[in-house]
Amino acid sequence: MADLTTTLIHHPYEPPAGFAAPQPGVFKASTVFFPSVDAMRQFDWKDKTAYTYGLHGTPTTYTLEERLCTLEGGRQCLLVPSGLAAIATVSLASLKSGDEVLIPDNAYGPSKALAEVELKAWGITHQYFDPMDTMDLADRITPKTKLVWLEAAGSVTLEFPDLCEQVRVCKAAGVTCALDNTWGAGLAFRPFDLVPGKVPALAVDISIHALTKYPSGGGDVLMGSVVTADEKLHMRLKLCHMRLGLGVGANDAESLLRALPSLFLRYRAHDEATRVLARWAEQRSEFVQVLHPALAASPGHANWRAVCGDHAGGAAGLFSVIFKSDYNQAQVDVFCNALRLFKIGYSWGGPVSLVVPYDLASMRSSWPKHLQPGTLVRFSVGLETVAELQADLEQALRCLVQTQG
């Protein structure tokens, strides 16, 4: 008769076999038992036919990976602890000393920082290309170019590039192209089927996604994914991912699995509210430019329309404004501080609306031709009632006007 401690570990209770519930079980493990030494030698984690170690996958992570493949239209998926870790994993797996990576000038900022510091230290060079000029991208590709990053819409300024042409340029040059698909979330367009019905499909090679944003939907989970549609490419990424020791916690994977079924409804609600507020902002005299790809005047609108159509759920939940240059940074700060429902904070995709003023000049190689001068503020629209969000923006603008007195 075993003692209580042992009994509690080797507990006789077994849950009903085949327990079927909407939410899959949450499996936590570092160790996984093998039935025999032979099995230990033979089990191969790489093709997912067996479990060998928690870091290499559990039923929970495999389930999430499968759902993310479905979401993005890919065939293989890796999970990493953040969106930025997804970018880093792709860079490390694809580049070696002497190689060059091309990055759009409006890319997610920390991706540029990775190139400027770590990649540079490892002898990997980078160039920034103009996301709105596909010829500029084409001209910068050389035999050294081993990876091109794409992003649609661009971070903070939300220009929509000619994504199809950019992919065609990369394919023609035989360079791997990786898309940061966080904005599109697998819903605004299909990264592995950019022109629906085209055979062979016009597809990016790699789609990374900050699951931190819309898939999590709560502002409470950090996670990223790397989705591919080519087994060889996936295996290169997977082995690098394994050697780097990247993995995600079961509870975080569970949060994602719980949030994914409502992703489309949330994304569409963010989208609809954001269009209302962006159109309202266009009518306001304080702003010299409103950036949102579904607005006809926003840079790259025609590109957006070509890839995303004009349906609800095709434009995410972000818009930016550029204040007239009569307003200085301090006044714009007053506006941001005066907001009550829009909280000051990074990230997006959760229920709470967020605002961030950006110093765009410090983020770009040069001030983009298609942007008016002035201070830029980006809004992430949450799930609050849109009329109340608009009223909040209006009252904060009144505070701004008072500062001019």
Least distance CB 316 / ligand PLP (angstroms): 10
Q: Which of 210, 273, 307, 360 binds ligand PLP (CB under 6 A)?
A: 210
Residue 129: beta bridge partners? 104
Least distance CB 184 / ligand PLP (angstroms): 10
H-helix or E-strand spanning residue 206? strand 206-210
Closest Cα to residue 228, out of 153, 299, 187, 176? 176
Least distance CB 180 / ligand PLP (angstroms): 5
Which tokens belong to 205?
A: 């090679």
Using CA atoms, how far apart are residues 293 and 363, in angstroms rounded to an integer?
Answer: 20
224 binds ligand PLP (CB under 6 A): yes
The dihedrals phi and psi of 169, each to the nearest 5 degrees, come to: -60, -45
Question: Nearer to ligand PLP by C-beta: 153 or 400?
Answer: 153
**How many contiguous H segments (helices) and E segments (strands) does the chain have?**
14, 12
Question: Nearer to ligand PLP by C-beta: 222 or 294?
Answer: 222
> 3-class SS at 76?
strand
Using CA atoms, how far apart are residues 347 and 154, in angstroms rounded to an integer?
Answer: 14
Neighbours of 165 (CB within 10 A): 14
Least distance CB 256 / ligand PLP (angstroms): 12
Q: Which residue type sits at 194? A: L
Question: Nearer to ligand PLP by C-beta: 291 or 400?
Answer: 291
Residues 234-253, one symbol each (x = binds ligand PLP by CB under 6 A, - = not), give: --------------------
Question: Nearer to ligand PLP by C-beta: 303 or 331?
Answer: 303
Q: Which residue type sits at 27? A: F
Least distance CB 83 / ligand PLP (angstroms): 2
Residues 353-382, one symbol each (x = binds ligand PLP by CB under 6 A, - = not), give: ------------------------------
189 binds ligand PLP (CB under 6 A): no
Which tokens belong to 251?
A: 């509870």
Number of residues in contact with ligand PLP under rule CB under 6 A = 13
Closest Cα to residue 53, out of 80, 33, 36? 33
155 binds ligand PLP (CB under 6 A): yes
* Alpha-carbon torsion angle 225, 192, 307, 283, nearest 10: 0
Question: Nearer to ligand PLP by C-beta: 59 or 109?
Answer: 109
Question: Nearer to ligand PLP by C-beta: 307 or 396?
Answer: 307
Residue 214 CB partners (closer than 8 Å, separation 6+): 182, 185, 187, 263, 266, 267, 270, 316, 317, 349
Which residue's Cβ has the minimum distance to ligand PLP?
A: 83
Least distance CB 246 / ligand PLP (angstroms): 13
Residue 221, sorted as left (phi over 0), alpha (psi -120 to 50) or beta, turns out to be beta
Residue ranges of the alpha helices (H) in 245-284? 250-259, 263-282
CB 256 within 8 A of CB 223: yes
180 binds ligand PLP (CB under 6 A): yes
Question: Nearer to ligand PLP by C-beta: 259 or 396?
Answer: 259
Q: Which of 134, 157, 212, 255 binds ligand PLP (CB under 6 A)?
A: 212
Question: Nearer to ligand PLP by C-beta: 169 or 248?
Answer: 248
Q: Which of 95, 119, 147, 222 binds ligand PLP (CB under 6 A)?
A: 222
Residues 30-69, one symbol each (x = binds ligand PLP by CB under 6 A, - = not), give: ----------------------------------------
Residue 102: beta bridge partners? 127, 148
Closest Cα to residue 228, out of 339, 19, 331, 74? 74
| Selected range binding ligand PLP among 15-23, 114-122, 168-176, 208-216, rule: CB under 6 A | 208-216
Within 76-115, which residues bind ligand PLP (CB under 6 A)? Answer: 82-84, 108
Neighbours of 177 (CB within 10 A): 23
Residues in contact with ligand PLP by CB under 6 A are 82-84, 108, 155, 180, 182, 210, 212-213, 222, 224, 347
